[in-house]
């Protein structure tokens, strides 16, 4: 357990940030799952619409620091390639 006053504050801050980051990461994953579900269903229009919604959410995860830029770019690239393959 933390002893100094600043260390106790850091523990509280870390707990708050962890909760926020967890919800942001979960939100991004939900949008990715929507695209993947539309791909599995074979509905290209829905997949394209879901991808348009997912892209800004994924990049928002980058700006908020919950995801690395290259990871987000790779996910967007692979999802868009999968949507394109459906045509």
For every one of its 87 residues, what pLDDT tens digit does the chain have, with 9 covering 90 and above? 789 999 999 999 999 999 999 999 999 999 999 999 999 999 999 999 999 999 999 999 999 999 999 999 999 999 999 999 988
Say if CB 54 and CB 27 are below 8 A apart: no
Is position 19 within any domain?
Answer: no
CA distance 58 to 27: 9
Is position 18 within any domain?
Answer: no
CA angle 56, 67, 38 (to 5 degrees): 50
Q: What is the pTM of this model?
A: 0.86
Is position 65 within any domain?
Answer: yes
Overall domain count for the chain: 1
Say if CB 51 and CB 83 are below 8 A apart: yes
Is position 58 within any domain?
Answer: yes
Is position 17 within any domain?
Answer: no
Is position 63 within any domain?
Answer: yes
Its domain, for residue 66, covers 26-85
């Amino acid at each position: 357990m933390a002893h100094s006053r600043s260390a106790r504050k850091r523990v509280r801050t870390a707990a708050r940030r962890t909760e926020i980051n967890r919800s942001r990461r979960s939100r991004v994953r939900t949008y990715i799952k929507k695209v993947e579900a539309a791909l599995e269903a074979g509905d290209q229009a829905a997949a394209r619409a879901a991808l348009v919604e997912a892209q800004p959410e994924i990049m928002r995860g980058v700006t908020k620091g919950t995801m690395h830029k290259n990871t987000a770019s790779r996910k967007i690239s692979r999802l868009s390639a999968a949507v394109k393959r459906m045509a």
